[in-house]
Structure 1
């Protein structure tokens, strides 16, 4: 059963920049630890849906940073690598990547599976918002980006899995919302349980929406 979840951005920028956002993520992760879960699992978007052990390695070298976490050959995708880095010296119990193009139903099923994986489950969900929020954003600026981003921020703030479950995959792809699938996994894990939500920080440097949030 899901007892707590944190949402943090999967950007490598958080390693060298964005100090306030990184601090907010550390606060959210500390609250996950305080929930005393039986298992802590990191969830993030990737090219495919896969399972990795908690000691699995990842690296940020392809993004120009000499940062490697875990043990062995680095195989974690970016989102999970950043999540592992944010966790610091304590490894999670496992990692789950979810395909960026996974359907909403597939995300819900994966979330339900994770929610049933132990009596007390905590999730670190690596997910960001739209990358089309300004003319200088990585994606093409789109008027629909801000309302979509606001929907995600409000869902995190109010611990509303129903709102996350309704995120449209096609619109998310158009608006460069790479966190859509991971957020819908969170919705599936939460189910109909009630949580208290806190949006610890929301920011959009370089036109990309980043969140630090907590459900407890």
Structure 2
């Protein structure tokens, strides 16, 4: 069953090398992410599952120690999803359109950011694995996958990567959409309250229109948390580049 969860944004700019020493406005987000991962470690899980949005090539399971890279962002930096020591073999969780093949593949950007965060905190609390989730994945399937993850071991924790809307300002990647602030506020409220029903009910079409890449991972979290009776705390909420970034911890 799910014993804890951390929700973090996944912009590569969280990684200082990618930001080239800039992006001090994300310092508070980095600290909040570290605090949220600390909640995961304190829960003493048997396994950590890291879930993040992924394109076609990155969907499905990723082994502990899988390699990610920020070379596509102009930085000669590689990371791994946890230590290569120990058993991190995924145990049966796949998503629609994903292969069961568990040979090492390059991590999608969201899981590479997660790997960097886990490296910063020197994660050693439990074996881990990654799961790349297609952004168009239907809510019902996301919830089902989350339930399957929670049922696999006695004590499972989730690190859930994903951004809110990308339409908060005129200079945002998705330009300004007046619906974005309200959508992000509701997601922030739901994450802060560990409101499983609200996350399950997120409008997938609206999330797509607002370029909210975290929608599917958040609904995987909702499926995993169903019946777990966890409490939540919103640790960070801002949109420094017109993209909503949220950090929350559930325990």
Normalising by structure 1, report the TM-score.
0.96
Tell me which residue corresponds to 1:27: 35
Q: How many residues align?
A: 216
Residues in 1 aligned to 2:34 and 2:123: alpha-carbon distance in whole angstroms:
13
Aligned to 1:55: 65
Q: Kindly report which structure 2 residues correspond to 1:1-216, keeping only aligned pairs within 5 A, or say none.
A: 1-16=1-16, 17=23, 18-48=26-56, 49-70=59-80, 75-88=106-119, 89-90=122-123, 93-216=128-251
CA separation in 2, counterparts of 1:167 and 1:45? 16
3-state SS of 2:167 partner? coil
Whose Rg is larger?
A: 2
Partner-residue secondary structure (3-state), 1:207: coil
Between Structure 1 and Structure 2, the one with more strand by share is 1
Q: 1:36 is paired with a residue of what secondary structure?
A: coil
Q: Structure 1: how far apart are the matches of 2:104 and 2:52?
A: 19
Residues 59, 74 of structure 1: 8 Å contact kept: no
Q: Distance in 2 between matches of 1:116 and 1:73?
A: 25
Asked whether the equivalents of residues 68 and 74 of structure 1 are also in contact (C-alpha less than 8 Å), the reply is: no
Aligned-pair CA distance for 1:184: 0.4
Deviation digits for residues 37-80 of structure 1 (CA, Å, limit 9, x no counterpart): 00011000112430011111111110122221126976100111
The RMSD of aligned alpha carbons is 1.5
Shift of 1:161: 1.1
3-state SS, counterpart of residue 123 of structure 2: coil
By how many angstroms is 1:192 displaced?
2.6
- TM-score, with structure 2 as normaliser: 0.83
